[in-house]
Amino acid sequence: MLLLNRILLGVGLGFTNQSIPLYLSEMAPPQYRGAINNGFELCISIGILIANLINYGVEKIAGGWGWRISLSLAAVPAAFLTVGAIYLPETPSFIIQRRGGSNNVDEARLLLQRLRGTTRVQKELDDLVSATRTTTTGRPFRTILRRKYRPQLVIALLVPFFNQVTGINVINFYAPVMFRTIGLKESASLMSAVVTRVCATAANVVAMVVVDRFGRRKLFLVGGVQMILSQAMVGAVLAAKFQEHGGMEKEYAYLVLVIMCVFVAGFAWSWGPLTYLVPTEICPLEIRSAGQSVVIAVIFFVTFLIGQTFLAMLCHLKFGTFFLFGGWVCVMTLFVYFFLPETKQLPMEQMEQVWRTHWFWKRIVDEDAAGEQPREEAAGTIALSSTSTTT
């Protein structure tokens, strides 16, 4: 029964992680899209912090009730999420794209006016209508495989993969086990998980404040360098001070905790929130749902692999585990530097111009556009002929 309920919980997490970042990105104005979407990661961080506090509080409850209380309390935020979703409106792009009839554009205009707090929304509405009219949404997973969407597919695959091989879920899943291994007692190791999560939550707030000012690339790069240095320092301390029979001096155990807090903060204002933000804003409407589905599937699959293998890695590689994760952070930081364009404050409907000006992706996109141009011109001729006949 416990296993069945965990499977159902996983299905629900998959649905919400796929839909919420998409919804936030489509509803947010371009100039605040980063901050609003990063609020998703902030809420996740707050939820993990509350869960860690609950775990710390119920640790000493006798009779096996502690873990039962911890698990059952997950129903409380799930109930809030379910009830709140009933009152959420559809996004303007969904209204234009899916709902037939002559009033769908007017309905989208009214919703945009409510969301933006102004009646001057015609430019944004025109962009939405234009993007929707050139969209074929019947088979998004087949569409995303086309050459013209190669940049989006590569980023949708690699960004979540790199997100997980930073080693962040090592901290999330096994922080109490790890800190107990390096010398902290059980209650202290549980509290260390709370401390690292407090740092992550504070860093998420920082990310919300600065992401639309400094951009996505700068946060990716600064956070990457911060995580590289942190992983290297943790590996060095463990290599020098971790004893063969297990454990280490308390002073060095607390030093590892401090360095881990620096690592978690670096992740929480860069790769943590931006993994959900960037794929949602770079994918055009016809592949947006498929792109976000790929992101979430990769995150959960790699999370599963790391969750099943980390303790074995820690036993065999010991301090080398952190050098391994640090090497992955080097690779992903170089990937961002060379292959990820800046997308701050750019309307999602105008994102195509980003790829046409990028030093690497423009060759792929332009080659595909050249091959498709005759078909597009033919389609335009047919549409024009149809319009003339109707007139």
pLDDT interval class at 244 (50, 70, 90): low
Give the span between the Cα atoms of 250 and 183, in whole angstroms.
6
Residue 101 has pLDDT above 60, yes or no: no
CA–CA gap between residue 23 and residue 115 (Å, rounded):
13
- Give the distance from CA 225 to its chain's centroid: 19
What ranges do the domains of the chain cover? 13-88+137-353
pLDDT in tens, 119-153: 888 888 888 887 777 665 568 888 899 998 999 99
Fold classification of 13-88+137-353 is Growth Hormone; Chain: A; (1.20.1250)
Q: Does residue 214 have a pLDDT over 50?
A: yes
Q: How confident is the model at residue 383 (pLDDT cuts 50, 70, 90)?
A: very low
pLDDT band (50, 70, 90) for residue 376: very low
- Residue with more model confidence, 328 or 60: 328
User: Please, which pLDDT band fits residue 239 given cuts at 50, 70 and 90?
Assistant: confident
**Between the CA of residue 212 and those of 32, 47, 378, what are the distances in Å?**
6, 24, 40
pTM, two decimal places: 0.83
Give the CA angle between residues 155, 160, 165 to the nearest 5°.
125
